[in-house]
Amino acid sequence: MQERHSDRQSYFNEQALTTKRYVIPFIQEICRINAETTILEIGCGEGGNLMPFVEMGCERVVGVDINKGKIDNAKAFFKEVENTNNLELVVEDIYNADNLGKFDLIIMRDVLEHIYDQEKFMTHVKRYLKTDGKFFLGFPPWQNPFGGHQQMARNKWVSKMPFIHLLPYKLYRFLLKKAGETQGRINDLIEIKDTQISIEQFERIIKKAGYHTEKRTFYFINPNYEIKFNLKPRVQSKFISSLPYLRNFFITTNYYVLSLKLI
């Protein structure tokens, strides 16, 4: 298993840097982010993605996660940061978070692919978005070489094997067990297989849920790989990006900015 999955402070810093360098500029091509902007991150984990918004002095920066341990880590990491009066970190299931209010911007990066019933989720989340608000999502298509997050595996060979997550359930589970993965880790990897999402599935969901796509970009080399692997981000070619279904195998992440479709 890669060090970044056990060193949470490093992961926090990695998230913060990718969001600052790539996510915020991507969003700002559609809308301004300034001291009056309110931000909600769903599935914030340790809160690394929120750091740049806190530093920018955004009016309200809220992170929600169902995992108390991750929120506890986030609070510890942010203790080292000055001027966090605009930051709120909340332990809650988003379906029960009735008092959050509405936001100018909602962000989710590498979270949607972990959620069951994404159509229900995308419909529910609309209640937290202002009428003219924007919704940023970044997620890896399931069929890409490491779309199963197998890099989480402790076995060094399994963690580096592309496409093994596409094996049938029984064979994939057997391979993980033979590689010495714990039952808990196997369950985590199988859960990601359960919640898999492709570009086509996502776009059907957002159309049905009443969103409009303001901007989308498909990456051959994920912007996050600059920090992880020292690889320069690279947008996928227009030709590959135009091929439904097949493109999922050659795109490591998608960036979208959505808005509410006004009737």
Calpha distance 24→61 (Å, rounded): 14
Calpha distance 167→234 (Å, rounded): 28
Does residue 230 have a pLDDT over 60?
Answer: yes
Q: Can you give the pLDDT at residue 4?
A: 44
Q: Indicate the pLDDT class of residue 7, thresholds 50, 70 and 90.
A: confident
Q: Which residue has the tokens 């999955």?
A: 5
Query: What is the rounded average pLDDT of the residues 224-246?
Result: 95
Q: Can you give the pLDDT at residue 228?
A: 86
Q: Which residue has the tokens 């202002």?
A: 130
To the nearest whole percent, how much of the chain has pLDDT over 90? 91
Q: Indicate the pLDDT class of residue 263, thresholds 50, 70 and 90.
A: low
Q: Which domains does the chain have, with CATH numbers?
A: 3-143+197-260 (3.40.50.150), 150-194 (no CATH)
Query: What is the rounded average pLDDT of the residues 79-86?
Result: 90
The H or E element that residue 215 is part of is: strand 211-221
Mean pLDDT for all residues in the chain:
94
Does residue 3 have a pLDDT over 60?
Answer: no
92 strand-pairing partners: none
- Kindly state the tokens that stand for 252: 């490591």
Does residue 6 have a pLDDT over 50?
Answer: no
Looking only at the bridges linking them, the beta strands covering 60-65 and 38-42 are: parallel
Q: Report pTM.
A: 0.94
Alpha helices in the chain (DSSP H): 8-18, 24-28, 51-55, 68-78, 118-125, 169-178, 183-194, 199-209, 225-229, 238-241
Query: What is the rounded average pLDDT of the residues 250-258?
Result: 98
- Please, are residues 150 and 189 in contact by the beta-carbon 8 Å criterion? yes
Q: How far is CA 64 from CA 70, 81, 168, in A?
A: 10, 19, 34
Stated length of the chain: 263
To the nearest whole percent, how much of the chain has pLDDT over 70? 97
Q: Can you give the pLDDT at residue 188?
A: 95
